[in-house]
Amino acid sequence: MKAKILLVDDEKDIVEFLQYNLSHVGFQVITAYNGKEALEKLSQKPDLIILDVLMPKMNGYEVCSEIRRIEEFKNVPIIFLTAKASEADEVHGLDIGADDYIKKPISPKKLIARVNANLRKIESSLAESSEPKELSIGPLVINKEQFTISINGEKIFFPKKEFEILSFLASNPGKVFEREKILNNVWGTDVFVVERTIDVHIRKIREKLGNYYDMIETIKGVGYRFKNVE
């Protein structure tokens, strides 16, 4: 049996159309028509969530933020499927914890390909169980299993993508990574995300690092690296 997908959109015709196409290739599809109903349907434990942004009662951004606060769903892929097509909208959606941002309209085949790409990424991360679960570098302790980061013993909350970027860089201290490489590692090669997204996330990571902001170095014209700590 394929994965279970929670499909959320206030337009009934779109829900029925996408439900038919997703079900046709074997996915189990749970539907919701507003943000509050979407949160209620989490009890059915979806493996992936497709969210519209402009919805009554709660918009998609609010729903995404609420979902990411629930421990059980911190790693469940969230895909925005929306008519809000500006770069600022996309950056905001990814910044609050979405894994992908798709602009309407999109063909069912392309949507299914993006769904499969996000599910493969989760499967791949689960398969990396042989890697160390905890990484200690200087004042930082990164627990990859619990998705927590401590600085000098104090836990600091990092949204999913910020956590993954910091974890990736810290796991390779001293190595310079181009923005494209970071994007591919965190979002996957099948997902289109603008490179500016990395700069936005790095800025927010540095803010949370506080006095240790300079542990992430900018290599002008190239990308970023995590400073070697003795």
CATH code of the domain covering residue 178: 1.10.10.10
Task: Check whether residue 107 and residue 140 sit in a common domain.
Answer: no
Helices 108-127 + 12-24 axis angle, to 10: 60
Q: What is the pLDDT of residue 85?
A: 82
Distance CA(160)–CA(128), nearest Å, equals 17
Task: Check whether residue 121 and residue 152 sit in a common domain.
Answer: no
Q: What is the pLDDT of residue 131?
A: 58
Distance CA(104)–CA(177), nearest Å, equals 32
Task: Check whether residue 119 and residue 16 sit in a common domain.
Answer: yes
Domain stop point among 127, 148, 167: 127
Task: Check whether residue 194 and residue 138 sit in a common domain.
Answer: yes
Domain stop point among 84, 99, 127: 127
Domain range enclosing 194: 134-226
Q: What is the pLDDT of residue 120?
A: 86
Task: Check whether residue 116 and residue 169 sit in a common domain.
Answer: no
Domain stop point among 70, 105, 127: 127
Neighbours of 208 (CB within 10 A): 16
Q: Kindly give the confidence (pLDDT) of every residue in the chain, 230 residues in length, as a single tens digit, with 9 standing for 90 and above.
A: 589 999 999 999 999 999 999 999 999 999 999 999 999 999 999 999 999 999 988 999 999 999 999 988 988 999 999 999 898 999 999 999 999 999 999 999 999 999 999 998 877 666 555 456 788 888 999 998 888 999 999 999 998 899 999 999 998 899 999 998 998 888 876 667 777 889 999 999 999 999 999 999 999 989 999 998 75
Q: What is the pLDDT of residue 175?
A: 92
CA gyration radius for the chain? 18
| HEC per residue, 135-199 | EEECCEEEECCCCEEEECCEEECCCHHHHHHHHHHHCCCCCCEEHHHHHHHHHCCCCCCCCHHHH
Task: Check whether residue 185 and residue 111 sit in a common domain.
Answer: no
Task: Check whether residue 218 and residue 117 sit in a common domain.
Answer: no
Task: Check whether residue 83 and residue 179 sit in a common domain.
Answer: no
Task: Check whether residue 220 and residue 171 sit in a common domain.
Answer: yes
Helices 87-95 + 60-68 axis angle, to 10: 20
Task: Check whether residue 162 and residue 142 sit in a common domain.
Answer: yes
Q: What is the pLDDT of residue 146?
A: 84
User: Computed from CA positions of residues 122, 124, 129, 133, in that sequence, does the dihedral angle turn out positive or negative?
Assistant: negative
Q: What is the pLDDT of residue 129?
A: 52
Among 139, 156, 47, residue whose Cα is nearest residue 147: 156
153 dihedral zone (left: phi>0; alpha: psi -120 to 50; beta):
left
Q: How many domains does the chain have?
A: 2
Please, which residues have CB within 8 angstroms of residue 224's CB and are 6 or more apart in sequence?
Answer: 169, 176, 177, 179, 182, 198, 202, 216, 217, 218
Which residue is associated with the tokens 């956590």?
163
Tell me the CATH number at 17. Answer: 3.40.50.2300
DSSP-assigned states of every residue in 82-97: ES--SHHHHHHHHHTT
Task: Check whether residue 165 and residue 73 sit in a common domain.
Answer: no
